[in-house]
Amino acid sequence: MAEPLEHAVGASKLVPARAGARALAVIGAESLLGREILDAIEELAPRALELRLLSEKPGREQPFRGGELEVARLGEGSFAGVSAAIFAPGAARAGRWIPGALAAGASVVDLSAAHRLDPEVALLRPAGASGPRHVSIPGAPALVVARALGPLWAKARIERVEATLVIPASGAGSRGVRELSRQTGGLLGSRRIRARRFPHRIAFNVIPEVMGFEGADDRSELSFAAELRRLLGSPGLAIASTALRAPLFFGLLAVLSLTLERELGPAEARELARGGPGLQLLDDPSSHVYPMPSLATGDAAVQVGRIRSDAPRHLQLVAAADPARLLGRAAVEAALLLL
């Protein structure tokens, strides 16, 4: 995509942010995703920026720029003087505190699923200087696929997307990572294990359920389709997906099959991916070079490869990314635009 996807989604009725305010708050910095947010702030934010770490369970210091930052208690008055706030916790907790942050004049970047489909909330990027000050970051599968498809969408448009989404244990947070680690060690040691965070054993297994079912579809598949349509600005885009929880600690893999509106061959698709912002082309199968979760982990780019075609106007490809790194960086980029 030519630039990070932006969509104006209605005029903001909120109080303008204070002129000159340069404080950024991070709620949930102690989480797995919060650590990625702090890493992105270290890389992208000016040193003059005041950083406040807030949590309902304060006390644990977080490493930052060679020192330690205290995590303060989140409460009434926490957002006084804050220009922008990044919310890393879940939807219920974010929903309790976001109204207060907005009322205090802070702009909000929300990583929870609470407002991703709200037409009054911008998705991924603020819509402009006069646009909403409440920005929602899409889920990792939709963000990864939107980045991977961006150059193709701009050139040929897409009629249908079929996706198999391979989701790591870290998509369930630090509890998911610990459960995979514990079960792997237990099975290798011939010990009895129990499933707690996931509905079945995750070690040495693949579970065709990620967020629980709504009818025949997993809720992650429904949210993926709705968010991808919104990111691409195409409400009628046909999307079919299957989400799988795999025994990966980190790294997401998307296997994609596309039906295009016009003919575009694999060679042209590779050149588009090569020049796509935020993309890394890895497409030399004969040399065993292609996207993989292990290669994507720790990288902010979306890897794209194995681009091929089995019929006119059809393309198949694979994309891989580090979802926590991608989401953390997207949140910080959005927050810096709102300061």
Instruction: Report the pLDDT value the prediction gives residue 87, as an integer from 0 to 100.
Output: 95
pLDDT in the model for residue 129: 53
Kindly report, as residue ranges, where domains of CATH 3.30.360.10 are found in the chain.
142-323
- Spatial separation of the C-alpha atoms in residues 183 and 245, rounded to whole Å: 15
How far is it, in rounded angstroms, from Cα 54 to Cα 73?
Answer: 6
Question: Which CATH architecture does the domain made up of 142-323 adopt?
Answer: 2-Layer Sandwich (3.30)
Tokens linked to 338: 């709102």
Q: One-letter amino acid identity for 284?
A: D
Q: How many CB atoms lie within 10 A of CB 159?
A: 15
CA-nearest of 251, 243, 199 to 221 is 243
Token digits of residue 258: 């596309």
Residue 255: count of CB within 10 angstroms of its CB: 18
CB 9 within 8 A of CB 304: no
Nearest to 258 by CA among 223, 319, 309, 320: 309
HSE on the CB side for 138, CA within 13 Å?
Answer: 29
pLDDT at 2: 33
What is the chain's pLDDT, residue by residue, as a tens digit (339 residues)? 333 343 322 222 333 334 444 899 999 888 889 999 999 999 999 888 999 999 888 777 898 988 999 999 999 899 999 999 999 877 667 888 999 999 999 999 999 998 999 998 999 987 655 556 899 999 999 999 999 999 999 999 999 999 999 999 999 989 999 999 999 999 999 999 999 999 999 999 999 999 999 999 999 999 999 999 999 999 999 999 999 999 999 999 999 999 999 999 999 999 999 989 999 999 999 999 999 999 999 999 999 999 999 999 999 999 999 999 999 999 999 999 998
Phi, psi of 195 (to 5 degrees): -90, 125
Would you state the pLDDT for residue 89? 72
Report the alpha-carbon distance of residue 84 to residue 217 in Å, rounded. 36
- Identify the H or E element spanning 122: strand 122-123
CATH 3.40.50.720 intervals, the chain: 23-137+328-338
Q: 269-279 burial, b for 16+ CB within 10 Å, e for fewer?
A: beebbeebebb
Q: What dihedral angle (degrees, nearest 10) is formed by the CA atoms of 248, 253, 255, 256?
A: 150
Burial class (CB in 10 A: 0-12, 13-18, 19+), 253: buried
What is the reported pTM?
A: 0.90
- Fold of the domain spanning 23-137+328-338: Rossmann fold (3.40.50)
DSSP 27-61: ETTTSHHHHHHHHHHHHHS-TTSEEEEEESS----
Determine the number of helices (DSSP H) and then strands (DSSP E) in the chain: 8, 17
